[in-house]
Structure 1
């Protein structure tokens, strides 16, 4: 069947028969269907060459051949290769300021407590906080990553879901199609699996709103299995951005080249070297002798040649490049000495010191707000359409909110004092006051306790009033 499909598709292509993406999928012409999609692998591979230190340009330096005056080879002189992982440092700082603390989810609808509780449990079961950090880290290094939600039946025959982070460094190919409004209309995940005979076979899973195509490349054409998409949505959260170290690569390469060259120079000149006249050289002690006696003859002279330091201009260049690399990538200079001075500062003061990273995080929130909104919508669909169908209406009614939290926390004492003042002034309800207090871990339970205490106080007051009416009071 595959052979005849291939022949038919080749004939159509030869006569210029026009087919759209869906038609190619139905005809099992997966190779041409993938040509319709954007392949993010090439950019990711190029980005990883900059991100992984073993691939840096400085690693291509070759040892130097040393020859005598007659041109005879003597030895290889080592040339140092010192890559500096600026890229990963910049990426990790950006990650901490966006997802260093978990995203805070809130319920904005009424009568959906059960759905919200199940939503939070699903996030925990999927290890969402850890996976979203991994996806952001990959996006900062490669430019593109994806969180893929895969629904399946577990060993007990019940519907289940797992979360997989896709990245080029893990061997994943990412393909996609977007319409003119930048909405994703198709997504594909390419990967290799070792099958019978230890052969590595290429697979592609293609997702559309209504159908999932599981494709396997065979000797002739493709083997394709199409099943309905029970979720009703493309189960992917796609992370797209420019590299976190964007624009700094030439400066990083310059620093690495200077560091490597300076290491070579240090090997040659940093250790003291003896300078002596011929009269002294004839009287030098042997190297294995412990005591050394230098006998000078006929005005012989001996002294040590030392190399004190590099030129000031080179030192200034190092400092300028380091400053530009960090500042132009919106990365604060965080090291042990700098952090010691932050020990007694408040969260607000630390935020000012780390302003560059805060600016970058605020910029990222412009797109990651949409990613979190889509996450909420996608997981509600998975819960309502797959995992817990009997409560589908409640999941559809559930309205979610989210908030990115400060990486170093907040000045909670100042916040509590502020909300206490608003509560005492009558500008805030007690329920809102309880929900905003950092001292209360479970606002729902605390509100129930307060209501119970109010009922007990009213009952006690009624009992006292009853005693007074019948003359029991003083």
Structure 2
């Protein structure tokens, strides 16, 4: 579809039902319900009595089987989010002139007000567990003007996330060149009587339209308002599969193995004695110096299970190794890292190499995602402060994702000092500020000077004597 056809389809007074069908297109929605079953450990197949039934007993009763579920899907997803956005993305910009500095300051304040670091993690989490996500930026008019952004404006810029996990159906619409010409969202709200009402809202570069479906299936327009920035205020991102898709079968197998092993352990965990012949007397529970009395050459021996546990252990260890390696998820559990000791920054980077390569792969989506977000916020800054429109167009802002890594500051400083010929890298004042131990750096520097002068005066006095 092209932009001309789109504008013709959503003109006020046209057939709304046809417009909604056109905006939905023929895209296949993600199977979110299936994703939820996989993500929620309580809904795993191992807990399904139809797929893993309890054991019937001869007396008509039922013996409960063990059901062990493991939330590897959540672990894989959360760890991927942490390595991607565990450190805030770095904003790279060299503002030219006071106008561009104001634009950059306004954007930074908007991001701070919207807690963008936490929001980044939320966006990544929703995409990783449901394959797609969108965010919508919108201005909220306040009762009075403010200067929080460095200029007077009655508006505050806000953002909200749209994701299939919460019941939203997302419908991005692209033209022949791959540019998004419309974005729509289908969702359900409850009316005053608790009845479900279907809504469909569409964003274009010119306007935002909301329609709702009546009880008889007829559609009506709820609102239509102009788009003040002339740009679709939506950032949309998607990936082909959920994070755990390639190891779902491994997780099922692990749950099956360990549940069955628990059942077997219930039978064989306690000693079992095999008696051959006739046993005349059995030792009592808790008796010291226990004796078994038998006759006619009877024998008693413990039953042992020698080889089967080793085979199961090998399979479990192999499956776990593939689970972590196939998802590029580092095993940083306490058991895995307790023996590492103190390691250098270079060793840490090698340890997390696979996770960082995964972050690089995610940047194929998120580099463009974050760039579009910045451009949308820039457009709103130009709308709120018309005097800065030229600076908004001219300023160049990039966002660089920084994969999570534990800082090895001592190693870094040591390498830099060596490269600098053993000379100091920073001033005493900067070092004091970086220490984080003082609140007022200037006062601390003055106190250090006083103490230094006192030490010198003591040295002079001692040398005189």
> Shared topology, TM-score over 0.5?
yes
Q: Deviations over 1:238-274 (max 9, x none)?
A: 1211322232222222222111211221122222234
**Change in CA separation of 1:439 and 1:201 when aligned onto 2, cut-off 3 Å:** farther
Aligned twin of 1:148 = 136
1:66 equivalenced with 2:44 (yes/no):
no
**Change in CA separation of 1:215 and 1:107 when aligned onto 2, cut-off 3 Å:** same
**Retained in 2: the 8 A contact 1:279–1:297?**
yes
**Change in CA separation of 1:67 and 1:46 when aligned onto 2, cut-off 3 Å:** closer
**Change in CA separation of 1:232 and 1:438 when aligned onto 2, cut-off 3 Å:** farther
1:84-163 alignment, distance < 5 Å:
84-111=70-97, 112-154=100-142, 158-163=154-159
1:36-55 alignment, distance < 5 Å:
36-37=23-24, 41-55=29-43
How many angstroms does 1:343 deviate by?
A: 4.3
Aligned twin of 2:393 = 396
**Retained in 1: the 8 A contact 2:135–2:160?**
yes
**Change in CA separation of 1:28 and 1:348 when aligned onto 2, cut-off 3 Å:** farther
| Greater displacement, 43-52 / 151-160 | 151-160
Secondary structure of 1:42's counterpart equals coil
Aligned twin of 1:218 = 214
**Retained in 1: the 8 A contact 2:182–2:202?**
yes
**Retained in 2: the 8 A contact 1:412–1:438?**
no
1:195 equivalenced with 2:198 (yes/no):
no
Q: Deviations over 1:167-226 (max 9, x none)?
A: 222222211112233322211122222221122222222111111011222224222121
Q: Under a length normalisation based on structure 1, what TM-score does the superposition of the two structures give?
A: 0.76
| Greater displacement, 187-196 / 292-301 | 292-301
**Change in CA separation of 1:277 and 1:338 when aligned onto 2, cut-off 3 Å:** closer
1:455-474 alignment, distance < 5 Å:
none
Q: CA–CA distance in 2 between the matches of 1:217 and 1:142?
A: 26
Q: CA–CA distance in 2 between the matches of 1:168 and 1:317?
A: 36
**Retained in 1: the 8 A contact 2:95–2:104?**
no
Q: Deviations over 1:364-412 (max 9, x none)?
A: 1122111111111011012221x43443333333221222224125555
1:314 equivalenced with 2:302 (yes/no):
no
**Retained in 1: the 8 A contact 2:44–2:69?**
yes
Q: Deviations over 1:53-92 (max 9, x none)?
A: 2333333244334243xxxx52112122222222222222
Q: CA–CA distance in 2 between the matches of 1:438 and 1:408?
A: 22
Aligned length: 407
1:29 equivalenced with 2:10 (yes/no):
no
Q: CA–CA distance in 2 between the matches of 1:103 and 1:440?
A: 23
How many angstroms does 1:140 deviate by?
A: 1.1
How many angstroms does 1:42 deviate by?
A: 3.3
Aligned twin of 2:253 = 254
Q: 1:181 aligns with which of 167, 177, 182?
A: 177
Secondary structure of 2:332's counterpart equals coil
**Retained in 1: the 8 A contact 2:274–2:303?**
yes
Unaligned 5+ segments in structure 1 are 1-18, 425-429, 442-448, 450-474
**Retained in 1: the 8 A contact 2:189–2:199?**
yes
How many angstroms does 1:318 deviate by?
A: 1.6
Q: Under a length normalisation based on structure 2, what TM-score does the superposition of the two structures give?
A: 0.77
How many angstroms does 1:105 deviate by?
A: 0.9
Q: CA–CA distance in 2 between the matches of 1:270 and 1:101?
A: 47
RMSD, aligned α-carbons: 3.3
How many angstroms does 1:31 deviate by?
A: 6.1
Unaligned 5+ segments in structure 2 are 146-153, 435-441, 443-465
Aligned twin of 1:208 = 204
